[in-house]
Chain A
Amino acid sequence: MIKKIVVPVVCLFISVCFLSCEKQPLPIFGQRQVVTREENGKQVNDTVYHTIAPFTFTDQDGKTITNETFKGKVYVADFFFTSCRTICPIMKTQMLRVYQEIQNDPEVLLLSHSIDPEYDTVELLHDFAARLDVKSEKWHFATGQPKEYVFDLAQKSYFATAMEDKTEPDGFIHSGAFLLIDRLGRIRGKYDGTKEDDVDRLMKDIKQLERE
């Protein structure tokens, strides 16, 4: 009697284990469109995915960074400001963990956008990065654009919340999200940058995305 139950349960358990080894590809976020074009007289359907819109910023070394800087790389983006005392310090603690994991991996970059670019100048971000002891070519801190530009990019391209709100303790509301972007500029994952286990998941997904 016991065998009748135990054997199928064990089999089921083992198959579930095997299934979970077979990793599903990471999702592609955002709206997609099917575009039909003609190729050699045949109708071919192409799927066009949501990608991060073209951007230009100045990083902590005063260098211009654009989509080209991140082209062909997997990168993690977030939105923060240095004077924030609520979730940003936790996000930076967690992003530093990601940095330590990927610092010798040439295929992965990090991009932190300041949502308070008036206060977070190039000099201030340079000092901030130096104090975290991180390399500029690996972890870019972006400033040099009006805050509306950053809010717009956050909301429309990264689907992340970032806006001004004078009623908040620090004057802004923004999400603690880390966004995982693939080599084609598509969002492939969204993680809570204030939660250690979610950032663990991000670090696993980075590895998976690199193998794609």
Chain B
Amino acid sequence: MSNRNGTIWISGSILIFLITVFGCSSNTGKPDTSSVKFTQYVVRGEELYQKHCSNCHQKNGSGLGLVYPPLNTSDYMDKNFEKVLCLMKYGLKEEITVNGKNFVQPMPGVVTLTDLEVAEIATYIYNSWDHNRGIVDVTEASRVIKNCATADQ
């Protein structure tokens, strides 16, 4: 019995070791994405994404048909960084074109999001799937959000 316990302990330790090693190595390789701050932003951003965004845009960012646009590969996100930050908070009513396809479903904003939360979500979506923009800092998010054209969205 004690022998079996020993085996469990050893395999458990190896597993934790592997998770630690590979967990760390996946964040290296890109500039300014290895910092603790970046990791915090991504972790918080993912939580917020799953709370506010993934119902429609899906956990894997694939979107749903031509109803909800994809985020995993999105020329709209590449070209409209500031607008994407604004629409998280204030929503979007206009028709948009993503990867050559048009989407008309209005997106409700989450007006209660703080600048930091917008920064965290942005950091998560802009560093997941096909994107590797690096951190979207809270000061950058605040600057963008201050200039959002909320009236016509």
Chain A: residues with CB nearer than 8 A to chain B?
82-83, 85-87, 89-90, 92-93, 96, 127-128, 130-133
Contacts and interface: CB of A to CB of B under 8 A. Distances in A.
Given A89-B55, A90-B55, A93-B58, A83 B65 contact: no
B66 A133 contact: yes
A96 B66 CA distance: 13
Contacts of B56: 85, 89
Contacts of B108: 85
| Top 5 A-B pairs, shortest CB-CB distance | A131-B66, A89-B56, A132-B65, A89-B55, A131-B67
Contacts of A82: 105
B98 to A, nearest CB: 13
A86 B55 contact: yes
Contacts of A86: 55
B31 interface: no
Interface of chain B, main secondary structure: loop
A131 B65 contact: yes
B65 A96 contact: yes
Contacts of A92: 64, 67
A89 B106 contact: no
B19 interface: no
Interface residues of B, number: 12
Interface string B96-114: 0000000011101000000
Interface string B49-65: 00000011010000011
Contacts of B76: none
Contacts of B105: 82
Contacts of B68: 89
Interface of A is mostly: helix
Contact of A132 (B58, B67, B104, B106): B67
Contacts of A130: 66
B153 to A, nearest CB: 16
B55 A132 contact: no
Contacts of A96: 64-65
A128 B55 contact: no
A127 B105 CA distance: 10
Contacts of B65: 96, 131-133
A150 B65 CA distance: 27
A155 to B, nearest CB: 25
A90 B59 CA distance: 11
A128 B106 contact: no
Contacts of A133: 65-66
A85 B67 contact: no
Contacts of B106: 83
A87 B64 contact: no
B55 A87 contact: yes
Contacts of A93: 58, 64
Nearest to A127: B104
Contacts of B55: 85-87, 89-90
